[in-house]
Chain A
Amino acid sequence: MSLDLAIPNQPVSIAVHAFVAPVNRDPGQPTVFEASQAASFDLANPPAPWIGLGPVEAFRRTAVDESTSVQSGTDAAVVAQFRKKLEAHVSFAFRRWGKLQLAMATGGTHWNVLATKADGNVRPTGGEAMPAIPILSGSTAMSLQIDPQFAAELSPGDVVAVDLDYLQQFGYIGLGFPGAYVANDDGISRQADFVRRVTFNVGKVASVAGGTVTLENPLTAGDPPASSGLQKVIGFTDREGGAFRQEWSALFFEETVSGGRVCYYYPRLQSLPQAAEKKSPILGDYQAMLLEAHLLALPAADPQDGVSALWFRTYIPPKR
Chain B
Amino acid sequence: MQAVKDSFYMALRQRLAQSYPTRIMGDTKQPALIVCENVCEPWIPANDAFYIRWTSDQKLPVDASAAGWRALECEIGYSTAGTESANGEDRGRALAELDAELQAILAPRQTAFLDYSQDPPATLSGTLLWTRSVLNDPKDSGGVIQRTARLSVLWQEAQ
**Cα separation A285 to B159 with both chains bound (whole Å):** 23
In this complex, what residue of A is CB-closest to B131? A284
**Cα separation A54 to B159 with both chains bound (whole Å):** 9
Q: Is the CB of A281 within 8 A of B61?
A: yes
- Chain A, interface residues (CB within 8 Å), range: 10 to 19
**Cα separation A283 to B153 with both chains bound (whole Å):** 10
Smallest beta-carbon distance B125→chain A, Å: 13
Judge whether B35 is part of the interface by a CB distance below 8 angstroms.
no
Q: Is the CB of B132 within 8 A of A285?
A: yes
In this complex, what residue of B is CB-closest to A280? B63
The winner among A95, A280, A284 for most chain B CB atoms within 10 A is A284
Q: Is the CB of A282 within 8 A of B69?
A: yes
Q: Is the CB of B61 within 8 A of A282?
A: yes
Given the interface pairs A55-B159, A286-B129, A286-B131, the reply to whether A281 lies near B64 with Cβ below 8 Å is yes
Number of A-B contacts (CB under 8 A): 40
Which residues of chain A have a CB within 8 Å of any CB of chain B?
14-15, 54-55, 57, 95, 280-286, 288
With a cutoff of 8 Å between Cβ atoms, the chain B residues found around residue A282 in the complex are 60-61, 64, 69, 154
**Cα separation A281 to B131 with both chains bound (whole Å):** 13
With a cutoff of 8 Å between Cβ atoms, the chain A residues found around residue B69 in the complex are 282-283, 288
Interface residues of B in 45-60 (CB under 8 A from A): 58, 60
Given contacts A283-B60, A283-B152, 13 further A-B contacts (CB under 8 A): A15-B66, A55-B159, A57-B66, A280-B61, A280-B63, A282-B60, A282-B61, A282-B154, A283-B58, A283-B69, A285-B131, A286-B131, A288-B67
**Cα separation A257 to B66 with both chains bound (whole Å):** 14
With a cutoff of 8 Å between Cβ atoms, the chain B residues found around residue A286 in the complex are 129, 131, 154
